[in-house]
């Protein structure tokens, strides 16, 4: 890879051109599907997106710990080393600050790195490169420097891995101008958003969830087409409703949908919004929904203070306050480091029943917490 960058600098040639000449255009396995809906895991969706984008653009390469010989810590990069070789699928030492800095430098010179963190908790080792180098360079150079780089990996709570491996960094990175922050839920999200992130000219933080990798979702033939892409900055209404709006992202979308099913049995028709994009945030879709339902429940795994839900609440108060018929309800993780004990861990992250209770409070179907206290 270093030789490629030197060649780019000295000769002004197209980066990774030699690889583009050697590699035959790949025919994705997904193209063989019929128009009927198929089911694939989130893991398969991410793998296929990486494969197709690396095949389509020789400037794209993957770098991180165990992405090559081990096929990825979570097998997201399975088969890519054999297909594209060690100069486009680079195993690194355990040194996030080092390989993230290399990736940002490569992006400065026209390559399109995909940097994998084994967990986003480890991105703290590299946050100077992500924030001060990647996020700010385009603005500070008056648009002369583009930084087309993707930082991706599992974010938030997994299971039994303790406080240092369970942090949700959505609100951290979403607070920084210059970054785009995406959080997929389904296989469609994962495939379409990762393709959009790799094609984007700006740095993108791509927050996956370890517990979703093995989850299976139906996808259409359109989603399986190599040209498919989910627009950045656009939320998806997963379930339409008229009584209360529930916003969520990543794994919490599934919890919100389960809560909506329970609420429907009690006569409450909830609208569930899958945010998909944390920055930019689709304020228009959120506010349009609240103006219809007149109630809002925000759901996230992260800490409550300065969270994504707090930003959504502020947006609704600023733009749709007159439409609210009840106080906004925020559901978030407990304001403590993640416990290791399984019973305490469950209490520290939102559960389906928490969302159900919040929606009932918003619809005045139960005693509000303040009154109960």
Cross-strand bridge partners of residue 61: 113
Asked about 165 being catalytic, the answer comes back as: yes
Of 44, 53, 116, 165, the catalytic one is 165
| Burial (CB count <10 Å: 0-12, 13-18, 19+), residue 125 | middle
What is the rounded distance in angstroms from the CA atom of residue 134 to the CA atom of residue 154? 20
282: left (phi over 0), alpha (psi -120 to 50) or beta: beta
Tokens encoding 195? 């393709």
The DSSP secondary structure of 159-187, one letter per residue, reads: SS--GGG----HHHHHTSTT-EEE---SH
What CA–CA distances, in Å, run from 141 to 151, 167, 220, 246? 21, 33, 42, 40
Angle among Cα 141, 147, 149 to the nearest 5 degrees reads 165
Evaluate whether 176 touches 131 at the Cβ level (below 8 Å).
yes
Alpha carbon 149 to its chain's center: 14
Angstrom CA distances, 25 to 51, 52, 56, 181, 224, stand at 11, 9, 7, 30, 17
Look at residues 66, 165, 179 and name the one whose alpha carbon lies nearest to residue 124.
165
Active site residue 167: no
Q: What are phi and psi of 106, to 5 degrees?
A: -65, -40
- Bridge partners (DSSP) of residue 138 are none
Q: Which of 52, 53, 65, 96 is catalytic?
A: 96
Distance of CA 244 to the CA centre of its chain: 25
Contact 304, 333 (CB under 8 A): yes
Catalytic residues: 96, 165
């Amino acid at each position: 890879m270093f030789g490629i960058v030197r060649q780019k600098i000295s000769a002004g040639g197209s980066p990774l051109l030699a690889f583009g000449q050697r590699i035959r255009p790949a025919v994705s396995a997904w193209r063989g599907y019929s128009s009927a809906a198929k089911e694939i895991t989130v893991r398969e969706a991410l793998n296929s997106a990486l494969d197709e984008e690396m095949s389509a653009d020789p400037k794209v390469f993957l770098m991180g710990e165990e992405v090559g010989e081990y096929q990825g810590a979570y097998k997201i990069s399975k088969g890519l080393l054999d297909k594209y070789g060690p100069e486009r699928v680079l195993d690194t030492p355990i040194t996030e600050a080092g390989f993230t800095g290399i990736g940002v430098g490569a992006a400065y010179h026209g390559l399109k790195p995909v940097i994998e963190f084994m967990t986003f908790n480890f991105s703290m080792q590299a946050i100077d490169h992500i924030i001060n180098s990647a996020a700010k360079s385009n603005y500070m150079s008056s648009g002369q420097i583009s930084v087309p780089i993707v930082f991706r990996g599992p974010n938030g709570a997994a299971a039994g891995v303790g406080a240092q491996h369970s942090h949700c960094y959505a609100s951290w990175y979403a607070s920084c101008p210059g970054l785009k922050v995406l959080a997929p839920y389904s296989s469609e999200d994962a495939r379409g958003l990762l393709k959009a992130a790799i094609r984007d000219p700006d740095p993108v933080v791509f927050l996956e969830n370890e517990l979703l990798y093995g989850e299976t979702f139906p996808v259409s033939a359109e989603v399986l087409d190599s040209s498919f892409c989910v627009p950045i900055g656009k939320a998806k209404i997963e379930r339409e409703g008229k009584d209360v709006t529930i916003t969520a992202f990543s794994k919490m979308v599934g919890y919100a949908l389960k809560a909506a099913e329970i609420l429907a049995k009690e006569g409450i028709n909830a609208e569930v919004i899958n945010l998909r994009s944390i920055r930019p945030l689709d304020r228009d879709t959120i506010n349009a929904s609240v103006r219809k339902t007149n109630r809002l429940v925000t759901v996230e795994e992260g800490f409550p203070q300065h969270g994504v839900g707090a930003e959504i609440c502020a947006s609704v108060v600023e733009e749709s306050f007159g439409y609210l018929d009840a106080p906004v309800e925020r559901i978030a993780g407990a304001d403590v480091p993640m416990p290791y004990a399984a019973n305490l861990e469950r209490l520290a992250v939102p559960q389906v029943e928490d969302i159900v209770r919040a929606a009932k409070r918003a619809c005045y179907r139960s005693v509000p917490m303040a009154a109960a206290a």
